[in-house]
């Protein structure tokens, strides 16, 4: 637990800024709100909230009365009298969907000019929602140009996305799902983390771009969930089923449905269930004249990931390809609707020289429907199968990792300088490395 109290300036007294100002002051920090709108500044100094939000009015009134919260239009005064500046200005949409960063640029110019006159180390923290790359391309260069100093050396820069819902913002501030700090230097990240030391939530310190992206990932996921639930509800109503009852039952599953499962970027899904059931439900919706654009986009989106994988294998101009693992998931011999099989068939059609290995897919040991599927539907694939990994290594210029069988984990230590690995499942924690290793989403 930390009792460190800091002087904090907050730029922008709109929704996020007002909530942040009130809550930080309520935690005992001395907070100076900064806004070009004199009316908002006047309201804060009178102890009145400039926004309508549960609990924040009482908090602001108390903090102003106790001398922990004030507001000004004077940027230099705020920066000179604070250790950390939080940028909470708006980033509204433009007509083409891009963000209007006018306010961000302006406030960075103003803060940078004030930092130029400071001798002590100052930290600038962006809480405004901005697309990945905005910190690197706009925020940091503008601060450096205006201050004449170097970010990460002469002053600190962090990205600290907010996760506040209107109507429950104070509750969300004190009980966040997580706290994310993207930092340019560890000194700044550590000092900013002190603000949240008493929060009962995971604290993640990461790079700036990842922090920027997390906010968008969260919000788009929430939007997708709303749209998904509505489409399921529309189908249910057409079938005289209570959509709320169905989704209530759905939400009882915290192992698969409401969990991190299935949320790891990688290759396309396959198997005997998911493709079949998506097709069946979207067909049923069509017969009911229920439009389901989100559900209808699932299979086309899945196919695009297959095409992405094929492009990764063929863009190197090498003709000899080895495949390690081609059942739809490790630990099974099921090839039905395996997306890797689709990749293999495409490559065969394009004249590539392939060898395939999967210890679970052996003609001698497969019986029943899987044996019938191989012999009658994809016999050309069975002729390309080899008995061990060494046969793949002896043949291939490009090696595809198609599933995450444990025996593939150390493949990078076995390849030759002329060989490269294309990984669909992430067998290593490393990132892509030109000419040697390419991950499909990392």
Q: What is the pLDDT of residue 363?
A: 57
Contacts with 257 (C-beta within 8 Å, 6 or more apart), sequence order = 250, 251
**Catalytic residue list contains 273:** yes
For residue 328, the model assigns a pLDDT of: 83
Q: Where are the alpha helices (DSSP H) in 161-297?
A: 169-174, 186-195, 208-238, 243-250, 274-287, 293-296
Q: DSSP assignment of 202-238, as one string?
A: -EEEE-HHHHHHHHHHHHHHHHHHHHHHHHHHHHHHH
For the stretch 261-318, pLDDT in tens is 999 999 999 988 999 999 999 999 999 999 999 999 999 999 999 999 999 999 999 9
Q: Kindly list the domain boundaries of the chain, sorted by start residue.
A: 7-207, 302-439
- 7-207 and 302-439 agree in CATH topology: yes
Structure confidence at residue 1 (pLDDT):
43
Among 355, 437, 342, CA closest to 396: 355
Burial class of 388 by CB neighbour count within 10 A (0 to 12, 13 to 18, 19+): exposed
What local confidence, expressed as pLDDT, does residue 370 receive? 66
Confidence of residue 79 (pLDDT cuts 50, 70, 90): very high
**7-207 belongs to CATH 3.40.50.410:** no
Range with the poorest average pLDDT among 99-108, 136-145, 336-345 = 336-345
Q: Is the pLDDT of residue 335 over 90?
A: no
Give me the pLDDT at residue 367, please. Answer: 64
For residue 380, name the pLDDT band (cuts at 50, 70, 90).
confident
C-alpha dist (Å) from residue 30 to 33, 83, 232, 237, 407: 10, 10, 49, 53, 57
Determine which one of 23, 251, 273, 441 is catalytic: 273
Q: Return the DSSP state at 99.
A: B
Grade residue 224 by pLDDT with cuts at 50, 70 and 90: very high
pLDDT band at 133 (very low <50, low <70, confident <90, very high): very high
Distance in angstroms (rounded) separating the CA atoms of residues 7 and 375: 73
| Residue-level pLDDT at 368 | 62
The answer on pLDDT for 319 being more than 90 is yes
Strands (E), 256-352: 320-324
CATH superfamily of 302-439: NAD(P)-binding Rossmann-like Domain (3.40.50.720)
pLDDT of 320 strictly over 60: yes
Asked if the model's pLDDT at residue 67 lies above 80, the reply is yes
pLDDT grade for 28, boundaries at 50, 70 and 90: very high
pLDDT tens sequence across 243-274 = 999 999 999 999 999 999 999 999 999 988 99
Whether residue 198 contacts residue 2, with contact meaning beta carbons closer than 8 Å, is answered with yes
Report long-range pairs for 424-428 (Cβ below 8 Å, ≥24 apart).
424/266, 424/267, 424/309, 424/340, 424/400, 425/266, 425/267, 425/325, 425/401, 426/264, 426/266, 427/401
**Averaged over 166-186, what is the pLDDT?**
95
More confident residue, 361 or 411: 411
Residue 422: predicted pLDDT: 98
């Amino acid at each position: 637990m930390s009792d460190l109290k800091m002087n904090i300036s907050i730029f922008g007294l709109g929704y996020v800024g007002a909530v942040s100002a009130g809550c930080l002051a309520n935690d005992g920090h001395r907070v100076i709100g900064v806004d070009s709108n004199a009316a908002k500044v006047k309201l804060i100094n009178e102890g009145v909230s400039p926004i309508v939000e549960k609990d924040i009015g009482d908090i602001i009134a108390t903090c102003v009365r106790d001398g922990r919260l004030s507001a000004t239009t004077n940027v230099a005064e705020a920066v000179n009298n604070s250790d950390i500046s939080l940028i909470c200005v708006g980033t509204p949409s433009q007509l083409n969907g891009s963000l209007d960063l006018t306010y961000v640029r302006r406030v960075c110019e103003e803060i940078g000019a004030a930092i130029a006159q400071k001798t002590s180390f100052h930290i600038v923290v962006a809480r405004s929602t901005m697309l990945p790359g905005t910190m690197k391309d706009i925020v940091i260069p503008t601060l450096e140009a205006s201050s004449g100093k170097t970010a990460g050396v002469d002053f600190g820069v962090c990205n600290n996305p907010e996760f506040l819902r209107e109507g429950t913002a104070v509750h969300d501030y004190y009980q966040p799902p997580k706290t994310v700090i993207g930092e340019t230097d560890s000194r700044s990240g550590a000092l900013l983390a002190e603000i949240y030391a008493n929060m009962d939530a995971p604290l993640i310190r990461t790079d700036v771009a990842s922090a920027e992206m997390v906010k968008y990932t969260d919000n788009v996921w929430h939007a997708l969930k709303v749209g998904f639930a509505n489409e399921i509800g529309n189908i249910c109503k057409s079938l005289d089923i209570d959509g709320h009852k169905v989704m209530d039952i759905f939400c009882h599953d915290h192992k698969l449905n409401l969990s991190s499962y299935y949320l790891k970027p990688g290759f396309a899904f396959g198997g005997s269930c998911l493709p079949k059931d998506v097709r069946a439900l979207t067909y049923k919706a069509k017969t009911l004249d229920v439009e389901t654009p989100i559900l209808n986009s699932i299979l086309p989106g899945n196919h695009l990931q297959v095409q992405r994988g094929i492009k990764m294998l063929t863009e190197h101009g090498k003709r000899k390809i080895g495949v390690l693992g081609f059942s739809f998931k490790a630990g099974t011999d099921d090839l039905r609707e395996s997306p890797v099989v689709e990749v293999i068939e495409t490559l065969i059609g394009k004249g590539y020289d392939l060898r395939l290995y999967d210890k679970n897919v052996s003609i001698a040991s497969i019986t029943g429907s899987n044996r019938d599927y191989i012999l009658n539907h994809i016999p050309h694939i069975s002729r390309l199968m080899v008995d061990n990994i060494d046969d793949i290594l002896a043949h291939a210029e490009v090696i595809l990792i198609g599933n995450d069988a444990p025996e593939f984990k150390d493949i990078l230590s076995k390849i030759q300088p002329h060989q490269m690995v294309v990984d669909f499942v992430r067998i290593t924690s490393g990132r892509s490395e030109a000419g040697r290793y390419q991950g499909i989403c990392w």
